[in-house]
């Protein structure tokens, strides 16, 4: 049976002209549709061409024979070829020579894999080659399609040279950081100093080396540092609150019942806007030194026993001290790799070590002054020349603090003594006058003949001065008159050394001072006879 539509059409007379009119109307309509379709295809192709040519990434299309049939503007910039130079050339032209042989097989494998496309980055960075022969790294997304008769392959290529270099540098930097961190950890934990780093103000996050744990945490391992009353922890809390503690000395009871004497610093770690964000403390054991101080007082001056003991003691102290300073200097040499708080800790360890070494040297010098005085050879010392040398030696120190110095000419005065001792005495007094002066202050040095063929030398400063209690303790060894926590370093031995050197030359030394008006140290030294050679 015929379809209903067919049967209906058969009932209409053919001469009525309806079909003819319909055909006449349909003809121009189909023609218009064809024109629109053609225009749409051209517009789409034009838009696609514009997109391809204006793309930021290089786009390269090859045919089945791997010849280049499309090379966009970005590809020209990337590879350094004009499109006319590469069209028809094999794609291997864009690769380093060593990859030419394997390239064709790689494309064939991709075609046989059944994948229509492979996303960018799946192959990682691969090498490409510019027109001038330089190689660079790229990532490639590749796809293939067939129009029924031919197969085409299109590659979207992105230059990742800079990113590859950055990634490689980041990986190398991370590896260097890891090695430096491990190296610092090894050295820091092997160093003969107790070190603790607080990474926050509340002391909740801390890093302690093994020596710190052994000395200060053995009896209270679970007690938080924020509430621990141990002197070392108190110093750390003070520094974390922004109050630095310097040259801090205290005694600690060991588990065996003996006492350990320690000295160190607790330094604040500040954030980028000047607020305290943590602290670092480092302490060294000075028990041997304290014992030596006690024995030094009890042993008679100038005795062979004292000299032997001090020689042995200083040697024993220098050995571990040298090790500590060596490790600390090794750490400091890696300055670029250190965090600010690590560098601060190392510098505080070095500062404490150098301070201890200076103290050891001065103890040894103090113990040998009497023996040296016995063998001292007296000589003529021109006072004017001596003061000229001193003025030149202290010039950099004066400049650093903005202090002026006035030396009143002594005239033709010659001292009977030791040139070496005279230089050391004057340098000690002048250094103290600078160290404890005020910024922008002044120093006055005067000389005049005194009674009984003596010369009086006065060194006066404009510092804060001393009260009667401090004056009474001035020439006691290792007494710094409350300056232990100040910013000026010292051992408290310089003045007692000065006193003994002056007395060894047959002279005397004294001091006059008043709070707020400065201090004057005076020396009385014998003048040389006119006939003395």
User: What CA–CA distance (Å, rounded) separates 76 from 58?
Assistant: 8
In the predicted structure, residue 209 carries a pLDDT above the cut 60: yes
Q: Using the Cα atoms of residue 45, residue 46, residue 52 and residue 53 in order, give the sign of their dihedral.
A: positive
Q: What is the pLDDT of residue 376?
A: 67
Over pLDDT 70: what percentage of the chain? 68
The pLDDT confidence band at residue 461, using thresholds 50, 70 and 90, is: very high
Structure tokens at 13: 């007379």
Kindly give, in sequence order, each residue whose CB lies less than 8 Å from that of residue 352, ignoring residues fewer than 6 positions away.
193, 263, 264, 265, 282, 283, 284
Q: In terms of Cα–Cα distance, which of 349, 341, 352 is closest to 484?
A: 352
Structure tokens at 457: 């030398």
Structure tokens at 473: 């303790």
Higher pLDDT among residues 289 and 382, named by residue = 382
Higher pLDDT among residues 457 and 258, named by residue = 457
**Residue 456, helix vs strand vs coil:** strand
User: Where is average pLDDT lowest: 308-312, 463-467, 486-490?
Assistant: 486-490
- Mean pLDDT for 115-143 is 76
Higher pLDDT among residues 498 and 185, named by residue = 498
- Mean pLDDT for 416-425 is 87
Contact, 368 vs 376, CB < 8 A?
no
User: What CA–CA distance (Å, rounded) separates 228 from 127?
Assistant: 61
Contact, 363 vs 286, CB < 8 A?
no
- Mean pLDDT for 425-451 is 88
In the predicted structure, residue 163 carries a pLDDT above the cut 50: yes
Instruction: Report which listed range, 64-68, 115-119, 468-472, is most confident.
Output: 64-68
Give me the residue label for tokens 């010659």.
414
Predicted TM-score (pTM) of the model is 0.38
Q: What is the pLDDT of residue 490?
A: 45
Q: In terms of Cα–Cα distance, which of 162, 167, 143, 145 is closest to 78?
A: 162
In the predicted structure, residue 443 carries a pLDDT above the cut 90: yes
Q: What is the pLDDT of residue 3?
A: 44
Q: What is the pLDDT of residue 130?
A: 92
Other Cβ atoms within 10 Å of 235 Cβ, number = 24
What residues pair up with 143 in beta bridges, in sequence order? 117, 154
Q: What is the pLDDT of residue 346?
A: 80
In the predicted structure, residue 149 carries a pLDDT above the cut 80: no
- Mean pLDDT for 253-279 is 86
Give the DSSP per-residue string, 313-365: HHHHHHHHHHHHHHHHHHHHTTGGGS-HHHHHHHHHHHHHHHHHHHHHHHHHH
Q: What is the pLDDT of residue 259?
A: 85
- Mean pLDDT for 203-230 is 72
pLDDT tens-digit readout, 40-59: 555 555 666 677 777 788 89
Give the DSSP per-residue string, 362-395: HHHHHHHHHHHHHTPPPEEEEHHHHHHHHHHHHH
In the predicted structure, residue 284 carries a pLDDT above the cut 60: yes
Average pLDDT, the chain: 76
User: What CA–CA distance (Å, rounded) separates 339 from 256?
Assistant: 38
Q: What is the pLDDT of residue 291?
A: 78
Q: What is the pLDDT of residue 498?
A: 83
Assign residue 257 a region (left: φ > 0; alpha: ψ between -120 and 50; beta: otherwise).
left
Q: What is the pLDDT of residue 442?
A: 93
The pLDDT confidence band at residue 36, using thresholds 50, 70 and 90, is: very low
Give the DSSP per-residue string, 236-270: HHHHHTT--EEEEEEEEE-TTS-EEEEEEEEEEEE
User: What CA–CA distance (Å, rounded) separates 475 from 480?
Assistant: 10
Q: How many residues does the chain have?
A: 533
Q: What is the pLDDT of residue 194?
A: 86
pLDDT tens-digit readout, 301-350: 445 555 565 666 666 666 677 777 777 777 777 777 778 878 887 877 77
Q: In terms of Cα–Cα distance, which of 505, 526, 491 is closest to 366?
A: 491
Q: What is the pLDDT of residue 395?
A: 87
The alpha carbon of 499 is separated from its chain's Cα centroid by a whole number of angstroms, namely: 43
Contact, 512 vs 461, CB < 8 A?
no
In the predicted structure, residue 418 carries a pLDDT above the cut 80: yes
Determine which helix (DSSP H) or strand (DSSP E) holds 68, and give its type and residue range: strand 68-71
- Mean pLDDT for 377-404 is 87
In the predicted structure, residue 212 carries a pLDDT above the cut 80: yes
Contact, 422 vs 386, CB < 8 A?
yes
In the predicted structure, residue 274 carries a pLDDT above the cut 50: yes
Q: Using the Cα atoms of residue 49, residue 53, residue 56 and residue 61 in order, give the sign of their dihedral.
A: positive
CA distance readout (Å), 185 to 192, 206, 332: 13, 14, 13
CA distance readout (Å), 95 to 81, 92, 136, 138, 434: 13, 5, 10, 11, 73
Over pLDDT 90: what percentage of the chain? 7
- Mean pLDDT for 150-154 is 82
Higher pLDDT among residues 385 and 65, named by residue = 385
Kindly give, in sequence order, each residue whose CB lies less than 8 Å from that of residue 469, ignoring residues fewer than 6 positions away.
none
User: Where is average pLDDT lowest: 82-91, 197-206, 340-349, 356-365?
Assistant: 356-365
CA distance readout (Å), 228 to 236, 237, 336, 361: 11, 10, 35, 36
- Mean pLDDT for 430-450 is 89
In the predicted structure, residue 485 carries a pLDDT above the cut 80: no
What residues pair up with 379 in beta bridges, in sequence order? 417
The pLDDT confidence band at residue 375, using thresholds 50, 70 and 90, is: low
Assign residue 376 a region (left: φ > 0; alpha: ψ between -120 and 50; beta: otherwise).
beta
- Mean pLDDT for 200-221 is 79
- Mean pLDDT for 449-474 is 84
User: What CA–CA distance (Å, rounded) separates 48 from 531?
Assistant: 113
Give me the residue label for tokens 């008006």.
517
In the predicted structure, residue 472 carries a pLDDT above the cut 90: no
Higher pLDDT among residues 124 and 350, named by residue = 350
């Amino acid at each position: 049976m015929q379809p209903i539509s067919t049967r209906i059409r058969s009932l209409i007379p053919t001469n009525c002209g309806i079909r003819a009119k319909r055909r006449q109307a349909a003809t121009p309509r189909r023609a218009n549709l064809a024109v629109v379709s053609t225009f749409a295809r051209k517009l789409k192709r034009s838009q696609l061409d514009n997109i391809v040519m204006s793309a930021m990434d290089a786009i390269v299309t090859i045919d089945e024979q791997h010849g280049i049939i499309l090379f966009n503007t970005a590809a020209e910039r990337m590879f350094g070829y004009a499109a006319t130079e590469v069209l028809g050339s094999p794609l291997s032209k864009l690769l380093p020579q060593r990859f030419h042989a394997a390239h064709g097989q790689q494309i064939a494998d991709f075609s046989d894999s059944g994948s229509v496309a492979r996303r960018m980055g799946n192959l990682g960075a691969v090498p490409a080659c510019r027109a001038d022969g330089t190689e660079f790294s790229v990532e490639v997304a590749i796809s293939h399609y067939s129009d029924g008769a031919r197969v085409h392959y299109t590659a979207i290529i992105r230059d990742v040279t800079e990113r590859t270099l950055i990634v490689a540098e980041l990986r190398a930097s991370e590896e260097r950081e890891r090695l430096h961190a491990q190296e610092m950890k090894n050295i820091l934990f092997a160093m003969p100093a107790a070190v603790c780093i607080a990474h926050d103000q509340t002391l909740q996050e801390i890093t302690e080396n093994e020596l710190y744990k052994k000395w200060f945490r053995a009896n209270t391992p679970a007690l938080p540092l924020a509430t621990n009353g141990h002197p070392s922890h108190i110093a750390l809390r003070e520094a974390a609150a922004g109050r630095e503690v310097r040259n801090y000395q205290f005694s600690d009871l060991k588990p065996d019942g003996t006492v350990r004497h320690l000295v160190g610093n607790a330094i604040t770690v500040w954030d980028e806007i000047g607020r305290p964000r943590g602290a670092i403390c480092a302490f060294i054991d000075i028990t041997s030194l304290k014992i030596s101080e006690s024995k030094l007082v009890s042993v008679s001056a100038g005795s062979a026993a004292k000299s032997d003991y001090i020689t042995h003691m200083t040697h024993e102290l220098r050995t571990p001290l040298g090790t500590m300073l060596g490790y600390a200097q090794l750490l400091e040499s890696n300055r670029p790799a250190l965090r600010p708080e690590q560098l601060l800790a190392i510098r505080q360890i070095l500062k404490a070590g150098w301070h201890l070494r200076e103290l050891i040297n001065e103890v040894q010098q103090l113990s040998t002054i009497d023996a040296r005085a016995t063998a001292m050879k007296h000589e003529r010392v021109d006072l004017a020349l001596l003061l000229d040398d001193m003025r030149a030696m202290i010039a950099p120190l004066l400049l650093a603090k903005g202090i002026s110095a006035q030396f009143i000419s002594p005239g033709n005065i010659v001292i009977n003594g030791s040139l070496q001792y005279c230089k050391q005495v004057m340098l000690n007094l002048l250094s103290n006058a600078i160290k404890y002066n005020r910024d922008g202050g002044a120093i006055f040095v005067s000389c005049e003949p005194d009674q009984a063929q003596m010369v009086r030398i006065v060194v006066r400063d404009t510092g804060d001065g001393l009260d009667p209690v401090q004056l009474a303790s001035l020439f006691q060894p290792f007494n710094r008159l409350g300056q232990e926590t100040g910013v000026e370093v010292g051992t408290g031995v310089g003045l007692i050394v000065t006193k003994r050197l002056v007395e060894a030359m047959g002279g005397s030394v004294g001091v006059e001072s008043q709070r707020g008006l400065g201090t004057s140290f005076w020396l009385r030294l014998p003048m040389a006879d006119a006939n003395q050679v």
